[in-house]
Amino acid sequence: MDDASEEVQRVSDALEEVDRIPDLEERVRARNQVLALQAQKTRDWHAERRNLVLALREEDPPVTIRAIAARLQMSPGVVQDIIRGHTGSWQNRPKAED
């Protein structure tokens, strides 16, 4: 197991521990703290991911969308969305021009 996988497993284990808190109020308070932290981390992590994807596309020659997807373990569609600057749900996507 590589270092990244070990860290992800540790986070997963910690979340499972929160789910095992026996007192409902205490468990909900802990979950609220995790959700607040996650909201901040999500913004930061998305920005860092976007910067890396764009940097890889700017290399000479540019790294392909499929190669970026494979390297970063995400779908090519997500890579395309990042390159296009799209964030949010499908409902918020601009309509295709005729």
**Residue 20: burial class (beta carbons within 10 Å; 0-12, 13-18, 19+):** exposed
pTM of the model: 0.74
Please write the tens of the pLDDT for every residue from 16-69. Answer: 999 999 999 999 999 999 999 999 999 999 999 999 999 999 999 999 999 999
Among 68-72, 76-80, 88-92, name the one with the lowest average pLDDT. 88-92
Report H helices in 20-91.
Answer: 24-58, 65-72, 76-84
Structure tokens at 4: 């990244």
Distances from the Cα of 9 to the Cαs of 12, 18, 42, in angstroms?
Answer: 5, 14, 18
